[in-house]
């Protein structure tokens, strides 16, 4: 079954440390997305990609980088993690208005 | 930047009642309008989507779209306790980029 898999499911990081969140999709979708979800804010788009080698800034890209080394994999990188980046992060893949979300990564920055 | 606004923020309805959720968007050129449902601790899942003006019914769920008034809505007939969840509206202005509202928390009381 086609799916979007995120790792890790939970992560505790220290302020100033580097964090990498990974996402793998088996949907063969061209487009992949990283969102964060905070109470009262819904889902906000951080970065997205139209295909291998491409990354685009979303609505709240500051403090985040993204990498799309292949069709299947899309990573979100926090070079210098801050407590304000504590959140639940969702990866998604999509084509032709067919979108699938991963189960999320809960990140706590202390 | 595309803006999507939802109302109400939260809603409590008795079992068997009709539930109505609303969403407004800012880009009249938007092409894809969808409702996602998210149970606590789970991934958002697409519930229904629509591309053109009018309405679409699937079982107990009906989605309405009025592009002229920049408004779309979700109606749940005979609401059930299992419908209790966070409901997110989303739209795509044509760049394969979903923008979400902040969500409506629905509680259906038995």
pLDDT tens sequence across A15-64 = 999 999 999 999 999 999 999 999 888 899 999 999 999 999 999 999 99
Q: Which residues contact B20 (CB under 8 A, 6 or more apart)?
A: B73, B74, B75, B76
* Separation of first and last alpha carbons in chain A: 37
Chain A residue at shortest CA distance from B95: A50
How close, in Å, is residue A37 to chain B by CA atoms? 9
CA distance B90 to B13: 23
Compute the Cα dihedral for B69, B26, B8, B96 and give only its sign.
Answer: positive
Contact B102/A104, CB-based, under 8 Å? no
Contact A43/B44, CB-based, under 8 Å? yes
As to burial, measured by CB atoms within 10 angstroms (0-12 exposed, 13-18 middle, 19+ buried), residue A36 is buried
- Average pLDDT, stretch B8-33? 94
Q: State residue B96's pLDDT score.
A: 83
Contact B98/A59, CB-based, under 8 Å? no
Q: Are A53 and A60 in contact (CB under 8 A)?
A: no
CA distance A45 to A106: 16
Q: Which residues contact A3 (CB under 8 A, 6 or more apart)?
A: A25, A26, A27, A100
CA distance A4 to A79: 24
pLDDT tens sequence across B50-101 = 999 999 999 999 999 999 999 999 999 999 999 999 999 999 877 788 899 9
Per-residue pLDDT band at B28 (split at 50, 70, 90): confident
Chain A residue at shortest CA distance from B102: A42
**Residues B78-91: b if buried by 16+ CB within 10 A, e if exposed:** ebeeebbbbbbbbb
Of the listed ranges A87-91, A105-109, B26-30, B85-89, the least confidently predicted one is B26-30
Q: Which residues contact B69 (CB under 8 A, 6 or more apart)?
A: none
Q: Supply the DSSP symbol for A73.
A: B
CA distance B35 to A101: 14
Shortest CA distance to B60 belongs to which of B15, B12, B11, B3?
B15
């Amino acid at each position: 079954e086609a799916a979007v898999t995120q790792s890790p499911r939970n992560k505790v990081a220290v302020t100033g440390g580097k964090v990498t969140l990974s996402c793998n999709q088996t949907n063969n979708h061209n487009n992949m997305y990283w969102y964060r979800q905070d109470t009262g804010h819904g889902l906000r788009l951080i970065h997205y990609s139209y295909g291998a080698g491409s990354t685009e800034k979303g609505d709240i890209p500051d403090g985040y980088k993204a990498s799309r080394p292949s069709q299947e994999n899309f990573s979100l990188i926090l070079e210098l993690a801050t407590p304000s980046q504590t959140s639940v992060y969702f990866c998604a893949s999509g084509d032709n208005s067919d979108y699938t979300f991963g189960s999320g990564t809960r990140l706590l920055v202390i | 930047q595309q803006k999507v606004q939802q109302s109400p923020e939260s809603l409590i309805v008795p079992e068997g009642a009709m539930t109505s959720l609303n969403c407004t968007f800012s880009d009249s050129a938007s092409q894809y309008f969808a409702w996602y449902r998210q149970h606590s601790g789970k991934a958002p899942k697409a519930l229904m989507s629509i591309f053109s003006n009018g309405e679409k019914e699937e079982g107990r769920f009906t989605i309405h779209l009025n592009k002229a008034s920049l408004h779309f809505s979700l109606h749940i007939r005979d609401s059930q306790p299992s419908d209790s969840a966070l409901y997110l509206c989303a739209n795509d202005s044509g760049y394969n980029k979903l923008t979400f509202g902040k969500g409506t928390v629905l509680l259906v009381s038995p």
